[in-house]
Chain A
Amino acid sequence: MSDISLLTLIVVSGILLSLNPFSIAVFSALLAGALGKGHPKSVFHTIAMSYLISYAALLTFFGMALVGIFSLLPYTFLLSLSLAISVISIFWGIVTIANFFWYGTFDDVPKSIYNVLHKYSVKKNSPGSAAYLGLIAASSSFVSNTIMILSFVTIVSLLKTGSPSWMLLLAIILIIPLIIILISCLNGTKISTILKWKEDSKAIMRLSSGLTYILIGWIILLILNGTIGSIL
């Protein structure tokens, strides 16, 4: 697989996975809280950026650490692990697709975290609390984020292009919808409009991310049996 193909895979599937109702809701709540407190624009920007940077930094750090660990694994063990990860990714894709039909049935965000999210997004609402909220939000979807990052790390490691910068690229792609929401909000889009859009589209977001997990799992299988490496 060439770098261009890998780049296309990471960009396309990253964009599909970035449309996550939970992360959109948390960021919208943070922006609503910041607007509601009537912060000056500079503080508003700092709060939004603190959240985005800490959210992306945690995912990048996690991904880079895994790339490092995977590079130390014996190749035969890496192959077995990759097979397991591809199966898990496909299984998680099916579970996520089930959410398209019965939304909320298989939510991986614990309900106990809701009050914490409200506290740091709306009540506290400062650059420090926003940075902390970014860490909480990135780690709240632990199962889906872990499977997503593990899958990309596996692909990168199997193709021996194990550069950690792919993980930085992935993290940046994952915050693109949030950056678009921030820009829209600064241009006058109402938070209620964003939330209504999120509510109307969350089932379809689940469907697209479910299909993406299956696609990524399938691609790992194709790399393992040599089909992809020899074609691209």
Chain B
Amino acid sequence: MKHIVKRNGKSEIFDNRKLYTSIYASCLSEHLTEKVAEQIALKISKEVETWLASKNEVTSNDIRHKSEKLLSKIDPNAGYLYSHHRIMW
């Protein structure tokens, strides 16, 4: 079980489903089909999990940056939305 440090400083067990859901939602928001969104979300969440295995301590921000990078390579628009969804105001 990998622990991650949240923005508020608290530690929490990494939940791959949360990552999957947020990437899936970003893809759907960009009008990608459910099937494509599922494939992308699955691919990225697996890659992030593999990447996490080699790390000692990770923050939720690290995971976000890594996911953004991976998503932007596959679909730059979905990557843009994923990276801006908290700072779009």
Contact = CB atoms under 8 A, between A and B. Distances in A.
Question: Which of A22, A33, A195 counts the most B-chain CB atoms under 10 A from its CB?
Answer: A195
Contact of A191 (B24, B30, B86): B30
A195 B80 contact: yes
B28 A29 contact: no
A118 B86 contact: yes
A192 B85 contact: no
Interface size class of A (residues with CB under 8 A): 20 to 34
Interface stretch (A35-43, A57-65, A79-87): A35-43
Interface in A181-204: 188, 190-193, 195-196
B89 A188 contact: no
Contacts of A29: 85, 88-89
B34 interface: yes
B81 to A, nearest CB: 5
Q: Is the interface of A mostly helix, strand, loop or mixed?
A: helix
A114 interface: yes
B89 A114 contact: yes
Contacts of B85: 29, 32, 118, 122
A50 to B, nearest CB: 19
Contacts of B77: 190, 192-193
Contact of A36 (B28, B80, B86, B88): B28
Interface string B47-89: 0000000000000000000000000000001101100111011
Contacts, number: 54
A198 to B, nearest CB: 8
Contacts of A31: 29
B29 A195 contact: no
A28 interface: yes
B81 A195 contact: yes
A36 B31 contact: no
A26 interface: yes
A109 B24 CA distance: 30
B19 interface: no
Contacts of B45: none
Contact of A26 (B78, B80, B86, B89): B89
B29 to A, nearest CB: 4
A22 B78 CA distance: 21
Interface in A103-148: 109, 114, 117-118, 122
A122 B78 CA distance: 15
A25 B89 contact: yes
Nearest to B81: A192
B88 A192 contact: no
16 contacts: A29-B88, A32-B26, A35-B30, A36-B24, A36-B28, A37-B25, A38-B28, A109-B89, A114-B89, A118-B85, A122-B85, A188-B31, A190-B30, A190-B77, A193-B77, A195-B84
